[in-house]
Chains A and B, each alone.
Chain A
């Protein structure tokens, strides 16, 4: 704290002697750490994750055909260009793990929580810069371990991202459950440690380092979302850690937490008395809140972006906060809806159906509030706005099918089919991705001081939007035709032969969608070097981050930290000439806050 008091006294940040190492590598500055998360979490892991999904889609569309790409990328795992069935499952597993944890948890929260929490709250930095640095480097270790696991002899973990034992516990059950799974578990243990350190830091910063006047009900919705995300992260991630540790015990030290009565490859194993269903409970106690850890930051970003670019206050600010809190609370008591047909007591199934469908209420409130925010707006279609509108669209489309999956009676028949794949990719995959891209386009000027090319942004959005619907909309229907997920090929079931064409169409859209991300990558990199210099506040936004020094300095504001006098959504307020009134402008005499 001493450092901050010092700032206040002499009104300008003092300069440490900074070397390359302290500035770019072991940086304790939240803006640099945000960029580090962006490059390792989003770009590096994102490219691997997308590439894996394309390999999977090509296998599903054109099974058993030699493919030069498989030959090139998979080598000995695709003898003569035909993908090995074990490696298909490994791709499924690693795609899920990388996308859910590395890209959409660490990448999304890591980038935007780090960047925005101090800047939008008016803080010089995170509560603990050192912990923040530590969180990133522990995350980095986890990335390295996970990437190494892809290259081990027997292949990476292949038991699905949910790693249900006994499949994940026994090397005899599948080759990926050997060294690959060990590395997966160790990598996840590091990941969880990093996530907890990060979350603690976010929570403490939000609670303690708000600038003068920044009451909780004057915080931008982004901060509310990051704050609540961090809280559910700290509640649920430790449970996954315990599950991972118990699984390590079962795998390596002969305990029987999750294993019992197993006969495999001609021998009876000694395990007695454990239960795989226990693991499922522990896993989904994290696994379901995890969905909201992924989604809430995107919701927050969308709220901010929609209000800013519609030039209109977010409709029902307090209702938005209440629904974030309601979603977060409910998210911790619905995990059983992943387990309706696992042999769990049917009465529990009833309870979880009830709590699950309740989530639809705050979600509906959010969707309608977004739509009302657009009503009579003055919408500026900058690229971030397109992605935010796309977010609302996929959030609705994907969310609605949750009414089917959350209903235990209906889940019986679509559980683990492509219907589920379509549902969660739309509602948390694509939605969170849109939120993230909206965030990158919106805060790029803040992160790098340059503008991204808008026309490329438009091309990027529209092609992505068409591909997203092209991939996941038909997928609902092949799911309703009963096609199970995680099948290496469907050609052993003539029953599904009439779905082959659809699968090829889906793959085409997937390739198109992946290819257009190259446009984004190009735009990002090109603008980094040759982009137009950004003005101080390009989107005429009201929040504090746009008042901070454009040149990234340690301490964020050159002089005093601005004080806050109003809520963050004074757009198009009557009585003002400009269509926005920044938070640090004092209320006029007699002016009501909102």
Chain B
């Protein structure tokens, strides 16, 4: 309802503006002032529009400052929870600084020149067609700056994507299907059993299509929550059974698509446990803020006689980040980073693949 009102009001406002312009013109015509109705900008228009140009520059600066202040905590460029994440973050910060400086300067030049060189009907512009020195200047400067950024970018990229950099990583398979995630741990041998969608047997609860005859598969563990021991490198092996999904783990600066018919890989080392991240001052602020918002919403819900929202507690998440169908917006898995001891305790409670199969008579 509200939106309909907004739309209607906006339409009326626009009609009102038009009508006012018309009445204004008419009244001037009646009072005998000659109207310039050529519809070509007059000197007066130039002056007004030039001032508006300057005002718009102020608007751009204001919205930049406002955005920096209100959203400036940049959850994705601070508090990375993985080893390589910090490298990506510092590259991101430098890039943002560069963008910020260039944006502030170029927008200033654009709108300030527009303001300063507003035209009139008498003067002429400067006939200035070319200056090779200037052009060379703004070809080489971006080229040099970009070379620096490309170099650092590529160094970071080849480091992040080097799947062999860690000796003996823990191998975990991320398995995607519409619309949920499963994790398969490789077990004591740290080798995943072979798998293929053609081996999926729902009746025997072999939902990932793991090869039952492969000895490596026997001690695999399939879970719906991703637990990771802190400071231990993890090699993710990703599969999808139906459409393309994307395993997005923003806190770890990690993302890779899961593509049916092929296996993709990503590796990282988590460095901050869930518990440590919850104690992080900026995270505490964020959670308090979110809980305040949720309490406000809950009050509305209670007033309507509905269930209130649960309070929020921080957890790492794995989100699906490639359009995959109806429930794409709710395809998530909780990630828990914990100490080796906690991880082992949890892991030992899980059922290994061999024992999870349903034996049929």
Contacts and interface: CB of A to CB of B under 8 A. Distances in A.
Interface string A257-271: 001111110101001
Interface string A389-413: 1001100110011011001111011
A572 B260 contact: no
Interface string B244-287: 10101010011111011110100000000000000000000010
B346 interface: no
A147 interface: no
Nearest to A172: B242
Interface in B327-353: 327-330, 332
A342 to B, nearest CB: 5
A103 interface: no
30 contacts: A85-B326, A86-B325, A164-B244, A164-B322, A173-B243, A173-B325, A262-B197, A263-B242, A312-B128, A316-B135, A341-B255, A353-B157, A354-B150, A367-B106, A374-B114, A378-B120, A379-B50, A396-B110, A400-B99, A407-B95, A413-B254, A415-B255, A451-B39, A477-B67, A489-B329, A490-B329, A493-B332, A494-B312, A495-B314, A519-B14
Given A466-B59, A474-B67, A487-B329, A389 B53 contact: yes
A341 B264 CA distance: 9
Interface in A409-454: 409-410, 412-417, 451-454
Task: With a 10 A CB-CB cut-off, give which of A67, A273, A454, A569 has the most chain B CB atoms.
Answer: A454
A338 to B, nearest CB: 12
Given A349-B157, A469-B59, 16 more contacts: A89-B323, A170-B242, A357-B153, A361-B142, A396-B102, A396-B110, A409-B87, A477-B71, A481-B75, A493-B317, A494-B312, A515-B14, A516-B14, A519-B18, A532-B37, A572-B127
Contacts of B109: 371
Contacts of B302: none
A342 B10 CA distance: 43
A538 interface: yes
A511 B255 contact: no
Contacts of B202: 266
A311 interface: yes
Contacts of B324: 167, 173
Contacts of A358: 146
A458 B107 contact: no
B113 A374 contact: yes
Interface stretch (B41-49, B184-192, B223-231): B41-49
B359 interface: no
A269 B145 CA distance: 51
Interface string A543-566: 000000000000000000000000
Interface of A: 58, 62, 67-69, 85-86, 89, 92, 159-160, 164, 166-167, 170, 173-174, 259-264, 266, 268, 271, 273-277, 310-313, 315-319, 341-343, 346, 349-350, 353-354, 357-358, 360-361, 364-365, 367-372, 374-382, 385-386, 389, 392-393, 396-397, 400-401, 403-404, 407-410, 412-417, 451-456, 458-459, 462, 465-466, 469-470, 473-474, 476-478, 480-482, 484, 486-490, 492-495, 497-498, 500, 502, 508, 511-512, 515-516, 518-519, 522, 531-532, 535, 538-539, 569, 571-574, 579, 594
B358 interface: no
User: Which 7 pairs show the lowest CB-CB distances between chains A and B?
Assistant: A260-B261, A381-B49, A346-B161, A343-B264, A477-B71, A515-B10, A482-B250
A568 to B, nearest CB: 12
A275 B262 CA distance: 8
A389 B255 contact: no
Contacts of B74: 477, 480-481
A375 B110 CA distance: 9
B256 A341 contact: yes
Contacts of A492: 329-330, 332
B91 interface: yes
Contact of A456 (B21, B46, B110, B259): B21
Contacts of A486: 323, 328-329
A113 to B, nearest CB: 26
B178 A173 contact: yes
Contacts of A470: 63
Contacts of B37: 532
B185 to A, nearest CB: 21
Contact of A364 (B39, B52, B110, B142): B142
B76 A482 contact: yes
Interface in B130-169: 130-131, 134-135, 138-139, 142-143, 146, 149-150, 153-154, 156-158, 160-161
Nearest to B315: A495
A212 to B, nearest CB: 24
B54 interface: no
Contacts of B332: 492-493
A579 B127 CA distance: 10
B290 interface: yes
B149 to A, nearest CB: 7
B325 A413 contact: no
Contact of A262 (B17, B96, B149, B242): B242
B145 to A, nearest CB: 9
A410 B76 contact: no
B178 A365 contact: no
A485 to B, nearest CB: 8
Interface stretch (B1-9, B26-34, B211-219): B1-9
A9 B23 CA distance: 54
A167 B325 contact: yes
Contacts of A458: 45, 49
Contacts of A478: 71
A409 B40 CA distance: 50
A341 B257 contact: yes
B103 interface: yes
A273 B260 CA distance: 10
A313 B52 contact: no
B6 A508 contact: yes
Contact of A412 (B45, B254, B322): B254
Given A164-B244, A167-B244, A532-B37, A410 B153 contact: yes
B129 interface: yes
Contacts of B310: 494
B294 A361 contact: no
B303 interface: no
Contacts of A354: 150, 154
B37 to A, nearest CB: 6
A454 B45 contact: yes
Contact of B289 (A170, A412, A474, A498): A498
Contacts of B46: 379-381
